[in-house]
Amino acid sequence: MAYVNPSGEYDRDQRYIPTRITADGRDGYPVEPGRYRLIVSRACPWANRAIIVRRLLGLEDVLSMGIAGPTHDERSWTFDLDPGGRDPVLGIERLQEAYFARYPDYDKGITVPAIVDVPTGQVVTNDFAQITIDLSLEWARYHRPGAPQLYPPELRDAIDKINRLVFADVNNGVYRAGFAGTQEAYEKAYARLFARFDKLSDLLAGQRYLVGDTITEADVRLFTTLARFDAAYHGHFKCNRSKLTEMPVLWAYARDLFQTPGFGDTIDFVDIKKHYYVVHKDINPTGIVPAGPDLSNWLTEHGREKLGGRPFGDGTPPPPPKAAEVVRPGHGPEAAGLTAEATAAVEATAR
């Protein structure tokens, strides 16, 4: 949830459910294979983080995933992609039902990602920032062989620092520009966003990834915003100093990740555009979804391997997504021409 304060600035409601699923079960929810269900929407950048991390770590067989549709009303995300409009595991039509099952008077945002306790049907947490960290640390026993270290101890301070900056100025910054209630608030958010983009470009001009020489949690968090930038934020949120394709370093960095197994194959460009342009009636009252942009350029050569680094460190790329979790035909990577050859090339580089 969010609102525009009296000065016209967008304020994100960050009162998330702080309960954690941990190896020792200290919050009452121990890590158990098959017990929980991760609820996402491919349209949402915050949920997309959890989709990527779950896939990179190989947790598909221990943490099932339910996918809500790209649009919602003021009440909740819905499972309109599933037969009968119900999640096949939880049996609910709206994610709201899982929140109310635990908190009947819940008055905060019904957000994704959320993890639901399947036996009780109750939401456990929707703390998106903590969810991905816990998937790396608390679920480690169940990681696939060769899973990368996305939050290694020696890099955590550096990862946390850049995550704070990227969240404030980029991940949330695009929303601060898009939902600003005054010209002054919009221009302030716009300036912060592109100032941070310039600094990130300077950093990434000399190194392949944000922290260290492998993919980390920091790269996952930046990528999900970059993947949506030209499709939604540039036009819909008026973040229009430059398209991503016009920022050479960030564009090459984004393509490098997009062409890495576990990243581009989670992106649903159709759902992304439909969500932003249909749901935000206050910004786009006609609900018209743009036909563009052309996506084929996501597959062009990026040249980032010249900077060195190994995408998965001492680990290995994840296997292809499970059949039930492949992005719908015409919606995702194949819409941008993400070929088997491109995936194979990335995998060869990672070895």
Stated pTM of the model:
0.94
pLDDT value of position 238:
98
pLDDT value of position 332:
64
CB atoms within 10 A of CB 132: 24
Strand pairing category for 64-68 and 36-41:
parallel
CB atoms within 10 A of CB 65: 20
Q: Which fold has domain 2-142?
A: Glutaredoxin (3.40.30)
Positions annotated as catalytic residues are 44, 175
Alpha carbons 244 and 258: distance in angstroms, whole number? 13
List phi, psi (to 5°) of 218: -65, -40
Residue type at 276?
Answer: Y
Strand pairing category for 64-68 and 114-117:
unpaired
- Report the Cα 226 to chain-centroid distance in Å: 10
Q: Where are the domains of the chain?
A: 2-142, 153-350
pLDDT value of position 330:
83
pLDDT value of position 296:
82
Alpha carbons 187 and 239: distance in angstroms, whole number? 10
CB atoms within 10 A of CB 73: 9
List phi, psi (to 5°) of 108: -105, -170
Cis bond upstream, residue 30 (ω within 30): no
Alpha carbons 214 and 97: distance in angstroms, whole number? 39
Give helix then strand counts, H and E, for the chain. 11, 6
Residue ranges of the chain with per-residue pLDDT less than 50:
1, 333, 337-347, 349-351
pLDDT value of position 89:
98
Q: Which fold has domain 153-350?
A: Glutathione S-transferase Yfyf (Class Pi); Chain A, domain 2 (1.20.1050)
Alpha carbons 178 and 234: distance in angstroms, whole number? 9
Q: Which ranges of 232-301 does DSSP label H, i.e. alpha helix?
A: 234-236, 248-258, 269-274
Domain pair 2-142 / 153-350, same fold? no
